[in-house]
Amino acid sequence: MIAIEVGKRLREALKKKNMTVAKLSRIINVHYDTVYKWIRGDRLLKGENLKKVAEVLGVSIDYLYGWTPERNRDIKEPFPRYYEILGLPKKKRFDAIVEVAKEQTGCPLVVFDPLLREKYEQGELSEQEVYEAIKKHMETVRDAVLKKEETEKRVAK
């Protein structure tokens, strides 16, 4: 799991920099429990916090994620443009995920449960869970639209 790998490299970078979790958490303005969750792999370090941590520790994002030219070929994104979306501010990520789902499904409508955005913003759902829920719903809508169009064509004949 990528969160565990990132956590290991975060721990290594802290050790090399001779920095405590408490000091890092103060510098980047997050609760120290959050940093511990990143280190344990309970939560994925991403977005603005990823950028801040890399800067403070003097390492690259590629280092924290374990990306090397050889490894990049083997990395399978959970969904298209996943890593690109992680770099966006949280408020923009949801809409970007919706756009990817729309592209992937070919659904003419953008539809999803409005509670999905709320759950995502409260941290109850990951980007991947949001993508899968939206994609599944949009595939259902797309299939219903196609079925309706087929029925209308048969009736029109």
The 10s digit of each residue's pLDDT in 43-71 is 888 888 988 998 999 888 888 887 755 44
What percent of the chain is modeled with pLDDT above 70?
91
HSE of 3, CA atoms in CB hemisphere, 13 A:
14
Whether the pLDDT of residue 74 is over 70: the answer is no
What pLDDT sits at residue 152? 87
12 vs 61, more confident: 12
Whether the pLDDT of residue 20 is over 90: the answer is yes
- Residue range 127-148: average pLDDT? 86
Distance CA 49, CA 114 (A): 27
In order of 67, 83, 100, 108, 111, the CA distances from 116 in angstroms are 31, 21, 16, 20, 11
Determine contact, residues 119/77, Cβ cutoff 8 Å. Answer: no
Whether the pLDDT of residue 79 is over 90: the answer is no
What pLDDT sits at residue 53? 92
Distance CA 131, CA 134 (A): 5
In order of 18, 20, 76, 115, the CA distances from 84 in angstroms are 31, 29, 13, 24
What pLDDT sits at residue 21? 94
pLDDT by residue (tens digit) across 90-136? 788 899 898 888 888 887 677 678 888 888 888 888 888 888 988 88
Whether the pLDDT of residue 75 is over 60: the answer is no
133 vs 76, more confident: 133
